[in-house]
Structure 1
Amino acid sequence: MAFKTIKKLGDKSILSITSGGTPSRRNLEYYKGNILWLKSGELNDSQHINNSEEKISEKALKNSSAKIFPKNTVLFAMYGATAGKLGILDVPAATNQAVAGMVCNEKVLHYKYLFYSLLNIREKIVDKAWGGAQPNLSQTIIKNFEIPLPPLSIQKKIVERIERLMGKIDEAKKLRKEAMADAAALIPSALHKIFEEGKKKGWEEKSLGEICDIARGGSPRPIKNYLTEAEDGINWIKIADATNSTKYIYKTKEKINKEGMKKTRIVKPGDLILTNSMSFGRPYIMKTTGAIHDGWLLLRPRKNILEEYMYYFLSSDEIYNQFSFLAGGAVVQNLNSELVKGVKILIPPFSDQQKIVKYLDSLFEKIGKVRAMQEQTNKELKELEKSVLRGVFVL
């Protein structure tokens, strides 16, 4: 839909654009009020902003450049990783200087029409950002962008049309999310059934310390002195090299040198490693040789235990609950090797272990396919959202 009237965002006849401010952090009383005070990192394209991480006082407002924006103000993040993110105030609120507040002249510009207009040109605006890894925008850059401006009655019809189409897309997203959750629940559900059957069959129960050699990794410090890009470097395995959806670790982003190898622990393909701090209790199987830092534990089964069976057992809710209980009580929860040695595990006959692994591997593969399909669908839905906006806002 093409429109004859085009206006710059800096045209004061249609809206005003100003940014907020930050009260002095030295005065703690400034941050004990009840006035909402939003930072750019809190914007996530929500059209219903009614709360904030921090709140400021009236005195803070008077003694800083912060100001209160009225309900229905459209917010635009100008700095940092969230540059370009939008929001609409459901209630009056203040912001810091990294947020531009856009107050519409209600006689000529509908706030939701402005929101969708900005959503449509967001990528173009952010492309004009300056700075390094963290993009920065200025009010001047934003004000130079143009939007089509049809009569107010047409704006409202456009908003209704967009929201009708976006509502269908949101419903599709919800269904995809539910399908992902159902798929993710397959393995835990299957494990629970397997272990309940195992108890009925009288499978032997032993502690991990009885069936595994368990040792903590080591961290050469300071690590920057041991990192290398040389061909003879060894893979330096960090938590970031693994994700919740993977079973194996094939490669790493960094390597350490020979001196570093003397101060760490080497792991080999087939070894099982377990996170022991922060996101503790997550197992992975090595598909490469590498070195682990002290945030990992190495679990090496002695005999008649499949690593893959151990992986699935350690991934179960039952075992995670044991880990949580053992690690409880600290602000930062950790699992040391002695605690892990005491965790109980069911040991089926070796032939049953093979059958269990084969069955769970097939489930894992199916889940992977569902996840890949859902990720592709999500990309398509995001593109569909963009196409909806492009189809409406044609200059």
Structure 2
Amino acid sequence: NRGVRVVKSQLKENGEFPVFQNSLVPLGYHSSWNYPANSTFIIVAGAAGEIGFSKINFWAADDCFVIPDSINLNSRFVYYFLLTKQNYLFSRVRKASVPRLSRNFIENIKIPVPPLHIQEEIIAILDRFEALVSDLKDGLPAEIAARRKQYEYYRSQLLTFKPKPPHPL
């Protein structure tokens, strides 16, 4: 489902509901939402082919195509599946002054539908990996900085010499 056009006067700098338009970075915030939390969406103009998942209610603007919910298909599963097809999506983007991905193309993407319990197992595994990778992205620089300080401390301790009394001749 295509999002709904939003005009600049409707946007706020801060707010409860992010507005996704032509990138995964919110364009601004809106006072209401048009799609519920845990929805998967594809950016169809600008950063066309980018795939997003919102854990909170959000406003999908007109260059954001939201994958509709289904009783047989978990939206998070759809998100992970589409990530495996992202290079294919990028290859289908029409290169123009504003890159575009056609609605017809998106509506014809074939998504496998394993039983819900299998989808949930796949999601649980991929969520754990995603959390680990995110932790490494955030934690690794902090760990490197801590080790650098530790190195500087010990280097300083090892290379700081107390003055010795002069040796008698």
TM-score by length of 1: 0.33
Matched with 1:255 is 29
Q: 2:131 aligns with which of 350, 362, 365?
A: 365
Q: 2:55 aligns with which of 280, 287, 292?
A: 287
- Whichever residue aligns with residue 310 of structure 1, its letter is V
- Whichever residue aligns with residue 235 of structure 1, its letter is F
Matched with 2:3 is 217
Matched with 1:339 is 105
Identity %: 16
CA 1:253/1:322 → structure 2, altered by over 3 Å: closer, same or farther? closer
| CA RMSD across the alignment | 3.3
Question: Shift of residue 234 of structure 1?
Answer: 5.6
Question: Shift of residue 329 of structure 1?
Answer: 4.6
Greater C-alpha radius of gyration: 1
Matched with 1:13 is none
Gaps of 5+ in 1: 1-214, 244-251, 388-395
Q: 1:348 aligns with which of 84, 97, 114?
A: 114
Matched with 1:176 is none
Residue-pair matches, total: 152
Matched with 1:171 is none
Asked whether the equivalents of residues 234 and 291 of structure 1 are also in contact (C-alpha less than 8 Å), the reply is: no
Query: Could you tell me how far apart the structure 2 residues matched to 1:227 and 1:330 are?
Result: 27
Question: Shift of residue 240 of structure 1?
Answer: 9.2
CA 1:322/1:343 → structure 2, altered by over 3 Å: closer, same or farther? farther
Please give the secondary structure, in 2, of the residue aligned with 1:312: helix
Query: Could you tell me how far apart the structure 2 residues matched to 1:299 and 1:240 are?
Result: 16
Q: Deviations over 1:173-194 (max 9, x none)?
A: xxxxxxxxxxxxxxxxxxxxxx
Asked whether the equivalents of residues 34 and 59 of structure 2 are also in contact (C-alpha less than 8 Å), the reply is: yes
Please give the secondary structure, in 2, of the residue aligned with 1:344: coil
- Whichever residue aligns with residue 285 of structure 1, its letter is F
- Whichever residue aligns with residue 286 of structure 1, its letter is S
Equivalence map 1:1-395=2 (5 Å) = 215-221=1-7, 223=8, 225-228=9-12, 235-238=17-20, 242=24, 254-257=28-31, 266-316=34-84, 319-330=85-96, 332-380=98-146
CA 1:293/1:253 → structure 2, altered by over 3 Å: closer, same or farther? closer
Matched with 1:121 is none
CA 1:227/1:361 → structure 2, altered by over 3 Å: closer, same or farther? closer
Please give the secondary structure, in 1, of the residue aligned with 2:53: strand
Q: Deviations over 1:285-319 (max 9, x none)?
A: 22222212223111113221011111100111xx1
Question: Shift of residue 383 of structure 1?
Answer: 6.7
TM-score by length of 2: 0.70
Matched with 2:156 is none
- Structure richer in strand, relative to its length: 1
Matched with 1:14 is none
- Whichever residue aligns with residue 346 of structure 1, its letter is P
Please give the secondary structure, in 1, of the residue aligned with 2:68: strand
